[in-house]
Chain A
Amino acid sequence: MRRLLLIAIPYVWLAALFLVPFAIVLKISLSDAAIAMPPYMPQFDWTEGIGAFLGELDFENFTFLIEDSLYWKSYLSSLQIATTSMLLTLLVGYPIAYGMARAPEEWRPTLMMLVILPFWTSFLIRVYAWKGILANEGFLNQFLMWTGIVSDPLQILNTTTAVYIGIVYTYLPFMILPIYAALDRMDDSLIEAAEDLGCSRMSAFWLVTVPLSKSGIIAGCFLVFIPAMGEFVIPSLLGGSDTLMIGKVLWEEFFSNRDWPVASAVAVILLMILVVPIVLFQRNQQKEQEADQ
């Protein structure tokens, strides 16, 4: 009985906070927009019964999403931006994690602190701060012009480049921490053993260090890719009008167009796209746990 209760708690949690909201969103996505409060039809009515209610639901919104190229272009563009920024984050994050794992023992807590420290400030404020840095008259351009590298300010803000910078900056800790954890667990004598058996420093890195941090790399990539895919704040604050991201489209459908059914359909498809990497991520975590035992 106690065991059942313990197992039940996470399921109740999941049902209340994920399944029920998802069911509501799914239902809205199958409804029609209406000028009402809430702005969609049909509403469930006890007098008409469940059959009549279900009869009014249809896939019209999903057909619309497929027909209008804006949506699938946004999905593709989001996929591309999420993938590129994931790779960029890996490129920046791996050396940092490697440096941290190789640093003297007494330095590591401090370095760890430095990685986590940005979380102490609001995410929104940090993204706004980037506006100040990247703007035409911002710090970066002022610095570049002062050193004489450029004569005219670079247009970075309101471009996709700014979105990449924002995503890499924001999600860097999610990449660093799992890789650091994997590298930290690694026995230093493995590198010495590889060198002893004829590896150069470089080939020891590729043949031993990288494969052994693979689980950390995979975890970090998913932790960056999954939220970056649906990112809304960064593209709307730093990106320009030509930066297409599905999160932004979703927001506009909900709040500018007040078309809740279409917005819900966008969200449902986004979720379906993300289920694949989420399942893969779970499998990776599980495999790693098994390897630890």
Chain B
Amino acid sequence: MAIPVFEPWNDPQAKPLIQFRNVTKRFGDFTAIDDLTIDIYEREFFALLGPSGCGKTTMMRMLAGFENPTEGKIFLAGQDIAPVPPNKRAVNMMFQSYALFPHLSVWENIAFGLKREGMPRNEINTRVEEMLRLTRLEKFARRKPHQISGGQRQRVALARSLAKAPKLLLLDEPLGALDRKLREETQFELMDIQEKTGTTFVIVTHDQEEAMTVASRVAVMDNGRVMQVATPADIYEAPNSVYVADFIGDVNLIEGPVTAIGDGTYALNWREGAAPLTAKSQNTFSDGQTAHLAIRPEKVTISAEKPEGVANAVQGKVLDIAYLGNLSTYHVELPTGDIIKAQTANTRRISRRAFTWEDTVWLSWTATGGVLLVD
């Protein structure tokens, strides 16, 4: 039995839960969000990814109701939310600082929103217990926030924001304060909880690994604009711009004019006198147009002998080796002075490494290994 694929963004019938329509937000003469249009679907785990100051937090604060758009409209389930104050929105937020009430116990923190709704006492009890179970905090219910660890506080913040069963949960850099190991565990916990509750999550992060791990789709932002919205795999494998290719992960960028050689294949004349590189591309280019070939280091194969029957092969000298434990990245200097990074998995122990500094090596990759991007 095939599991139905969760891809509402490809379904023209699907109604988005959140719609940003030409939203612009200015603070004085600073434009934080610039004419942004985006759809987010129900049950999605949507990540807003970008460097600090790119407008991702402003977007989230507009969803929560702490800021209103200068221009454009935001719809939540088809309803314009601009006139709805934050305390009346079916949206809850998990704050970057967690914003736990220091004078209340864990239990009272989680119950806070439910009490404001005027929920009957026994229903509050059941709901809080449920949230405590979900976030595995039963033992800490009576403690005050300053008596628990950072990871536990993070879970209290999550439980508190989920308690009211919001249509949409906003997470502002939720894992920023946790150390790496705990962060990775918590990422999976978050995904698990998102799946169990079926709530739509929008997460703001500057950590691309985090966005790639948890999100169903990622929006890469820069300077108040959305550069690309796609699944993590597409963002990584098929970036639509040099900015996205460069922002996500490691990449080799080779620039030059292209000529079509038929069948969607182009020759990239990257250096005077060097053999042109060939690359297949979905995008069409006119002859002589400047393009960037973006190729990930792990798609570049490194070998001692010139490989046979490959689309692209260049020779160079190992300049540097970055040893990352599981992987090694080789910085190879070509005769032209360009440096190309190639990555291999360290399947053997380091003492048996095939290449070392100053070795002459061949780098090769297939025509479909990289993507051609317009300037």
Contacts and interface: CB of A to CB of B under 8 A. Distances in A.
Contact of B164 (A194, A198, A291): A198
Interface in A188-240: 189-190, 192-200, 203, 207-208, 211-212, 214
Nearest to B95: A189
Given A192-B86, A212-B103, A197 B113 contact: yes
Interface string A159-193: 00000000000000000000000000001011011
B246 to A, nearest CB: 33
Interface string B97-108: 101111100000
Contacts of B85: 195
B99 A193 contact: yes
A195 B86 contact: yes
Contacts of A197: 87, 92, 112-113, 116, 160-161, 164
Interface residues of B, number: 25
Contact of B116 (A192, A198, A214): A198
Contacts of A196: 64-65, 86-87, 91-93, 161
Given A192-B95, A203-B116, A291-B146, A198 B87 contact: yes
Contact of A200 (B87, B103, B161, B164): B87
A192 B103 contact: no
A198 B146 contact: no
A190 B99 contact: yes
A190 B102 CA distance: 9
Contacts of B65: 195-196
Interface string B126-162: 0000000000000000000010000000000000110
B91 to A, nearest CB: 8
Nearest to B96: A189
B113 A198 contact: yes
A211 B163 CA distance: 23
Contact of B66 (A192, A207, A208, A291): A192
Contacts of A208: 101
Contacts of B116: 197-199, 203
Contacts of A187: 97, 99
B106 to A, nearest CB: 15
B87 A199 contact: yes
A190 B101 CA distance: 7
A195 B116 CA distance: 10
Contact of B97 (A189, A199, A207, A212): A189
A216 B310 CA distance: 75
Contacts of A200: 87
A193 B160 CA distance: 10
Contacts of B179: none
Contact of A193 (B93, B103, B164): B93
A194 B66 CA distance: 12
Contacts of A193: 93, 95, 99-101
Contacts of B164: 197-198
Interface in A96-139: none
B185 interface: no
A189 B94 CA distance: 10
Interface of B: 64-66, 85-87, 91-93, 95-97, 99-103, 112-113, 116-117, 146, 160-161, 164
Which are the 3 A-B pairs with shortest beta-carbon distances? A197-B113, A198-B116, A193-B99
29 contacts: A187-B97, A189-B95, A189-B96, A192-B64, A192-B66, A192-B93, A192-B99, A193-B99, A194-B101, A194-B112, A195-B66, A195-B85, A196-B64, A196-B65, A196-B86, A196-B87, A197-B112, A197-B116, A197-B160, A197-B164, A198-B87, A198-B116, A198-B164, A199-B116, A203-B116, A212-B101, A212-B102, A214-B103, A291-B102
